[in-house]
Amino acid sequence: MKHFKDLFSILCLLFITSAFVACDDDNDEYATDDETILSVPQDDLIFTYEGEAKTINVTASENTFVASVTTGDETWAHVSTANNSVKIVVDENVDQQERSTTLTVKLNDARSRIRVKQDAAPAPEAKPKTFTVPTFTGTDKTFVYKLMDGNTQVGEICREYLCSSGNIDKQAIVVYPMVGNSADLTRGFVVSVLDQVYEEDMPTEVFNVSSEPIHNGSVAFDKSANSISSYIAGTKAAPAQFLSISNSGEIKAVEALSDETLTTTPYYATDASGNNYGIVKIGTQYWMQYNLKTTKLANGSDIATGITGDAWMTTAAYRESCSPENPDAGFLYNAVACGYLSGAFADAISPEGFTIPSNEKWTSLVSYLSGTKTVDVGSKLKVTGFGENWNVWYDYKGGTNISGFSAYGIGYGNGDGTLAPDGIKAHVFYLSSTTYSEGLGRFNLNASESSNLLQSEGGAALGYAIRCIKY
């Protein structure tokens, strides 16, 4: 019987001891006989190798608690307390090994612990590289830049119009990682959102960084529908000055440039005459930013000019627009110059990598620009201002060019190669690659307030503008 009592006493002692140890290690709440209460919300904190700061809230019966990390680890993990919180700042880990320490929070005899872990630095070749976003205000005259790591393109930077009903209706500067040879349009990092500047109630071509805290957000596109599938506004009052991109395409804002920096190069389309055209991304489409002005076919052959009368009907030819002084107006071409022959079409004039858009591509552009109702689609396409660009149309405020398409009223040609007088500064007709029995399709944009891209059947010999799209 005595042995049984001794065994019972030992078991009771073990139970009490284990209960005390369990209470000592519990991070949810610690209570002592004098009503000391101390708890922290988690068991682990994981930091990226770049270094960052995190704050945790502490539940405590008094605000006199203290916090520290394991002795010796203070050189890379720094701790401070304020009111009911603990802040942990971790320096960059330059070693290719994970490191860890223990954060201990103490109040009287109570203590709670959190394991602090930091990822290892990647190998030098896998480390994210940093870059500066171009301003788009220089002389490059393009709205798309390639982000280059040596001779390899790792990203794309666009100044573009983000158009999504109820979410956003502004220009923005967006960075995309690459997937294969194309930008991954499902992973856009919105560096900054831009507001258009108005003067005397008239839109200008100037766009400034928004003063709202909406920078550093994200955007994703549905390529099959040419629409924005997701837009999340950022929360930063100012755009990030520097960014980094990893091998996996993750884009982040960083505090400074690293030793390994990337370069940006303007993206152009180049025709057979050697002319460069800036590019503008609209939705998921990439358009030449200005009208074609080549005097050569893609095979290097000269395109005839000065042709009138019946010869204009059968000869690959071009003529000047009604705005020959405007270097961005381009020329007016007949369908034969484009590659139309006897009801069939084979592109003969576009820059490499680009083509004359079909009716389907044009209507997809209209569909994207119709995503909001702020202004009509035509206004979003037309450059701002009147006189040198478009005829005055009553009290119409003119184009906003928020899309960056930059359409000018350059007129159109007659079937004999002459310039139609009623089209001067009032119309622009863009050719389509969709064929009809008498020629190619066309889309008309005019000077009126309710203008849109109106589709109709064109002729084989009429003189129209060409605006190419990336295929």
Residue-wise pLDDT for 271-294, tens only, equals 999 999 999 999 999 999 999 999
Spatial contact of 173 and 146, defined as CB atoms under 8 Å apart:
no
| pLDDT 10s digits, 79-92 | 999 989 999 999 99
Write the CA distances from 151 to 144, 247, 261, integer angstroms.
Answer: 17, 15, 13
Strand partners, 243: 131, 253
Q: Return left, alpha or beta for 110; rule: phi > 0 is left, psi -120 to 50 is alpha, else beta.
A: beta
Within 13 Å and on the Cβ side, how many CA atoms surround 101? 20
Cα angle for residues 195, 291, 280 (degrees, 5° grid) = 35
Q: Report the pLDDT value the prediction gives residue 217, as an integer from 0 to 100.
A: 97
Q: Report the pLDDT value the prediction gives residue 373, as an integer from 0 to 100.
A: 72
Question: If we measure between CA atoms, which residue out of 418, 256, 288, 272 comes closest to residue 361?
Answer: 288
- Token pair of 165 as six digits: 């009903």
Q: Report the pLDDT value the prediction gives residue 33, as an integer from 0 to 100.
A: 52
Please list the alpha-helical segments (H only) found in 314-358: 335-338
- Token pair of 69 as six digits: 């990390």
φ/ψ of residue 195, rounded to 5:
-110, 135
Q: Report the pLDDT value the prediction gives residue 458, as an integer from 0 to 100.
A: 73
What residues does each domain of the chain span? 13-118, 124-266, 289-470
Question: If we measure between CA atoms, which residue out of 226, 227, 171 comes closest to residue 403?
Answer: 171
- Token pair of 170 as six digits: 């502004």
- Token pair of 105 as six digits: 């929070």
State which CATH number among 3.30.465.10, 1.10.3720.10, 1.20.120.530, 2.60.40.10 fits the domain covering 13-118: 2.60.40.10
**Longest Cα–Cα distance in the chain:** 128
Hey, which bits of 283-415 come out as E strands? 285-288, 304-305, 317-320, 331-333, 340-341, 344-345, 354-355
- Token pair of 465 as six digits: 């503008």
Cα angle for residues 359, 178, 224 (degrees, 5° grid) = 30
- Token pair of 306 as six digits: 């000065």
Q: Return left, alpha or beta for 208; rule: phi > 0 is left, psi -120 to 50 is alpha, else beta.
A: beta
**Residue 340, Cβ neighbours under 10 Å: how many?**
27
Per residue in 198-235, is it b (16+ CB within 10 Å) or e — as a string? eeeeebeeebeebeeebbbbbbebeeeebbbeebebbe
CA 362 – CA 426 distance, rounded (Å): 20
- Token pair of 213 as six digits: 């805290």
User: What pTM value is reported for the model?
Assistant: 0.80
Write the CA distances from 4 to 1, 11, 13, 308, 392, integer angstroms.
Answer: 5, 11, 14, 122, 108
Q: pLDDT under 70 in the chain at which residues?
A: 1-34
